[in-house]
Amino acid sequence: MSIDFTARENRPGKIIALHLNYPSRIAQRGRSPKFPGYFIKAGTSIANTGDTIERPKGTELLAYEGEIALIIGETTRRVSPEEGWSRVSGITAANDWGLYDLRHADKGSNVKNKSGDGYTPLGPEVIPAEGLDPKALRVRTWVNGNLVQDDDTSGLVFPFGQLVADLSQLMTLEAGDIILTGTPAGSSVAQPGDVVEVEVDAPTAPGAPSTGRLVTNVVESEFDMAAFGAQPQVDDNQRAEAWGSREAAGLPAERSTITDELRAKVEQVAVATLSAQLRKRGLNNVSIDGPTLNHPGRRILGYAKTLRYVPNREDLFKSHGGGYNAQKRAMDSVKPGDVVVMEARGEKGTGTLGDVLAMRAKVLGATGIITDGGVRDSAAVAEVDIPVYSNGSHPAVLGRRHVPWEVDGTIACGGTTVQPGDIIVGDDDGVIVIPPALFEEVVNDGFEQEQQDAWVYEQVKAGNKVDGLFPPNAEWKAKYEAWKQSR
């Protein structure tokens, strides 16, 4: 059965789209939703097979998402998940297009990036739901004849009946309403001139019914984006999400120096041991001297996120100290696994951190904060429960001695140089900076040294004298190796 969904009499009252559902897509995004999350698309975004979609001038990230669309067959309110599928009259193919260049303007609503004209093509055929197994459906997408998406509904996180039931708890679903049920891995960016096709079928059902291919032609718009509206804005995170991965977007791999295996080893190695390993490699000036830890017994490990303050000068503080200054930008741009490292020139006579910014860093996933200056509201900062190294507490505000100046530059903190991306490790003894290229070998050798030192400690505890044992001579090394082999 073919339906022209663009005709006024057939246009659904609501188009409700689901964010994540297929395990393959969830693995790509690295987010595991506990409950379904939705957004609404405009009815005027509906298109038919063979229609065109325009990529606005000056944009780059128009992305396709092949999906299964559920068509509600009757008025539905407060049904159970077991009843939900029975309220679906049919299914069809859908392409949930989105313009990632405008996601920043939507604040999560998806209004501008998902509801442009032609952004929800449906069809061409509708498969009646009666007799279909909702766990035995398939969705496939082709770009210029190449298969790019191929998945089925057997492992959905949120079954179709649950989606209908969940939505019906707060809103009345009406006949003709559409629910877009999520896209599998393989969603990516289309270019002007591309032809994108989506097909939904039930390959194991009698007759293997199919919607046929829903065809969309991508073209470049002849119109510029209006200056009075939000302008295109993308970054590498948006590119990676639109293309499906950093690799597909042509971007370098995410930080991968701190592997789970190395992280586990660091937990068992003292910073003093790692410092000794760096000294063996000729690196003596790697410790951040002066700052002490506000949470004794805690450790930190992460990638350096740097912030530099310069001495206060009234004209410079006027131009750089207020508003969305470098200090606030640094905290707002923290990534999970970062350690914020601040250069304050060892100046203790003012605060460089307070509880609000400490909380911002914690919420964004920072593993610690280091400043060679002072901390304001130190008791409140301690309650934020993020490890902070500082040169002490001081009640004065930032502007007494500092101008926030630079984010993500090479800085000096506690007498050593810190570059963005350096590996920061800290415990009760203090903090050291490890060049990323040396991290793996330093940790592995430090872990081995830690095991050997623990064994030596037990030998001394048993009454053996230190001479020849610490460090072990050839005889004791042989005994240690034999002990390792026996474990």
Which class for 322: exposed (0-12), middle (13-18), buried (19 or more C-beta within 10 A)? exposed
Beta carbons of 197 and 215 less than 8 angstroms apart: yes
Q: In terms of CATH architecture, what is 15-243?
A: Alpha-Beta Complex (3.90)
The proportion of the chain whose per-residue pLDDT surpasses 70, expressed as a percent, equals: 99
Token pair for 242: 């639109």
DSSP assignment of 182-249 equals ---TT-EE--TT-EEEEEEE-TTSTT--B---EEEEEEE-SSPPPTTSPPP---HHHHHHHHSSTTTT
Token pair for 330: 């640094």
| H/E element, 433 | strand 430-434
284-434 matches 15-243 in CATH topology: no
Note the Cα 41 to chain centre separation in Å.
Answer: 25
CA distances from 273 to 269, 285, 422, 451 (A): 7, 15, 18, 11
Q: pLDDT digit of tens for each residue in the chain (487 aa)?
A: 788 999 988 899 999 999 999 999 988 887 778 899 999 999 999 999 999 999 999 999 999 999 999 999 999 999 999 999 999 999 999 999 999 999 999 888 999 999 999 999 999 999 999 999 999 999 999 999 999 999 999 999 999 999 999 999 999 999 999 999 999 999 999 999 999 999 999 999 999 999 999 999 999 999 888 999 999 999 888 998 999 988 888 887 677 889 999 999 999 999 999 999 999 999 999 999 999 999 999 999 999 999 999 999 999 998 898 888 999 999 988 989 999 999 999 999 999 999 999 999 999 999 999 999 999 999 999 999 899 999 999 999 988 999 999 999 999 999 999 999 999 999 999 999 999 999 999 999 999 988 888 888 888 898 998 888 788 888 888 887 888 888 7
- CA angle, 397 then 401 then 405, to 5°: 95
Q: pLDDT per residue over 86-134, tens digit each? A: 999 999 999 999 999 999 998 889 999 999 999 999 999 999 999 999 9
How far apart CA 296 and CA 382 sit, in angstroms, is: 11
CA distances from 335 to 29, 101, 340, 421 (A): 16, 21, 10, 11
What pTM does this model have? Answer: 0.59
- Half-sphere exposure of residue 224: CA atoms within 13 angstroms, side-chain side: 3
Beta carbons of 65 and 98 less than 8 angstroms apart: yes
Q: Which of 291, 352, 60 is nearest to 190 (CA)?
A: 60
> Which residues are registered as beta bridge partners of 332?
none
Task: Give the position of tokens 């905290």.
Answer: 331
Q: Which of 335, 306, 282, 323 is nearest to 418 (CA)?
A: 306
How far apart CA 416 and CA 14 sit, in angstroms, is: 60
DSSP 355: H
Map out the domains of the chain as residue ranges. Answer: 15-243, 284-434
Token pair for 270: 């003292």
Q: pLDDT per residue over 231-263, tens digit each? A: 999 988 899 899 998 888 888 767 788 999 999
Token pair for 246: 């950093």
CATH 3.50.30.40 holds for 284-434 = yes
**Coil, strand or helix: which one is 318?**
helix
Q: Which of 38, 5, 34 is nearest to 181 (CA)?
A: 38
Q: Which of 142, 148, 64 is nearest to 98 (CA)?
A: 64
Q: Which of 454, 452, 445, 439 is nearest to 263 (CA)?
A: 439
Beta carbons of 213 and 199 less than 8 angstroms apart: yes
